[in-house]
Structure 1
Amino acid sequence: MAGRSETQTLWKIDWHALITPQVALPEIVLRGTLMYLALFLILRLVLKRESSGLGVTDLLVVVLIADAAQNALAADYRSVPEGILLVLTIIFWSWFLNWLGYHVPLFERLVHPPPLPLVRGGTLLRRNMRQELITETELLSLLREQGVDDLAEVQVACMEGDGSISVITRGRGAARSGKDRQWP
């Protein structure tokens, strides 16, 4: 009979714990807000540029949502509504910062960094390269991958906000983009 008791316990659902929040809902919103904004600022200050394809804020949202959802599923929170509220808080802040970046110029520079020139008139801008931790060898390699074998051909090369390098050559006037290269 002991096996039957264990099976019954295995299938027993604690509906009260599943549905009733154990943490104050405003506290969850505050925690989600503080963590999202803190991580956003830390990542923006440390990484500054987004890698091509997946932006810093996109990565942040994916990681935080996965963690928040995991907490609700694994019962680190005692109820599903707590996990759902935290996920919604994170999504809200992601949307709101993008909205601010679109409507408020002050926030646009934080959310969507402007292009940073790395080469101008065939001359390396070493201060900007140092700021983004790009070596001369890396930059010249990227230029070669785009068919530019002489630095003097480059009118301007910029690191874009998404981490790619765009190149405008002198004679051809053609713009190129290093979308396949990711930068720190």
Structure 2
Amino acid sequence: MNKWLAIDWQAIFIPSMPVLELVVRGSLVYLALFSVLRFLPSRQLGTLGIADLLVVVLFAEAAQNAMASTYTSITEGAILVGTVIFWSYFLNWLGYKIPKFQRFLNPPPLLLVKNGQLINRHLQRELITEEELMSQFRQQGVEYLADVKKAYMEADGSISVITNNSIQPSK
């Protein structure tokens, strides 16, 4: 019965591996996954941004390992979570300070339709069929392709549509 109630406080809070190794491991995983996800087609990500998706996945993994005692201490899980937070913040800060880097973090909108004409090479690059695109248009109240002046795939995977009869700003 005593074994059930005994707590090894040192094993809970003292890391079993060097802190720097945890930081390096967390950094390498974050940067590798970020790079891979950045170049996947946007439609695969839905409405979550790349950094948001990555942070959620890595938080879950780091926290799960700490709670399930895959690591030998909670401190190791906290260090990994802190490393993920650091890289997420740092990359966003870098994108804010350096506009060219922002284009790497969040790709510019991709033109899919211009003046009612599909740009097939862009659709192919993002793995979007004409039927899927038309479904998106219908959801936004656009029935015919000819009514679309421009349609863009945004960085978050959503489709924005400008129709021919859009209200023009007054001059």
Check whether TM > 0.5.
yes
> Superposition pairs for residues 93-104 of structure 1, below 5 Å?
93-104=87-98
Aligned counterpart for 1:134 among listed residues 128, 142, 145: 128
Q: Give yes or no for the alignment of 1:51 onto 2:46.
A: yes
Residues 23/72 of structure 1: CA separation in 2 closer, same or farther (3 Å cut): same
Tell me which stretches of 4 or more aligned residues in structure 1 moved more than 6 Å: none
Q: Distance in 1 between matches of 2:117 and 2:24?
A: 49
User: CA shift at 1:141, angstroms?
Assistant: 2.2
User: CA shift at 1:73, angstroms?
Assistant: 1.7
In structure 1, stretches of 5+ residues that fail to align are 1-6, 175-184
> Superposition pairs for residues 84-95 of structure 1, below 5 Å?
84-95=78-89
Q: Give yes or no for the alignment of 1:79 onto 2:76.
A: no
User: CA shift at 1:62, angstroms?
Assistant: 1.2
Q: Distance in 2 between matches of 1:55 and 1:170?
A: 29
Identity %: 54
Q: What is the letter of the counterpart of residue 22 of structure 2? A: I
RMSD: 1.6
User: CA shift at 1:48, angstroms?
Assistant: 4.2
SS of equivalent residue, structure 2 residue 40: helix
Contact 2:117 2:146 in 1 (8 A): yes
Aligned counterpart for 2:24 among listed residues 2, 24, 30: 30
User: CA shift at 1:8, angstroms?
Assistant: 0.7
User: CA shift at 1:172, angstroms?
Assistant: 3.1
SS of equivalent residue, structure 1 residue 46: coil
In structure 2, stretches of 5+ residues that fail to align are none
Q: Distance in 1 between matches of 2:145 and 2:167?
A: 14
Residues 124/107 of structure 1: CA separation in 2 closer, same or farther (3 Å cut): same
Residues 170/38 of structure 1: CA separation in 2 closer, same or farther (3 Å cut): same
Q: Distance in 1 between matches of 2:80 and 2:142?
A: 49
Aligned counterpart for 1:123 among listed residues 105, 117, 124: 117
Contact 2:42 2:157 in 1 (8 A): no
Q: What is the letter of the counterpart of residue 13 of structure 1? A: I
| Other-structure match for 1:63 | 57
Q: Between Structure 1 and Structure 2, whose CA radius of gyration is higher?
A: 1
| Other-structure match for 2:8 | 14
SS of equivalent residue, structure 1 residue 128: helix
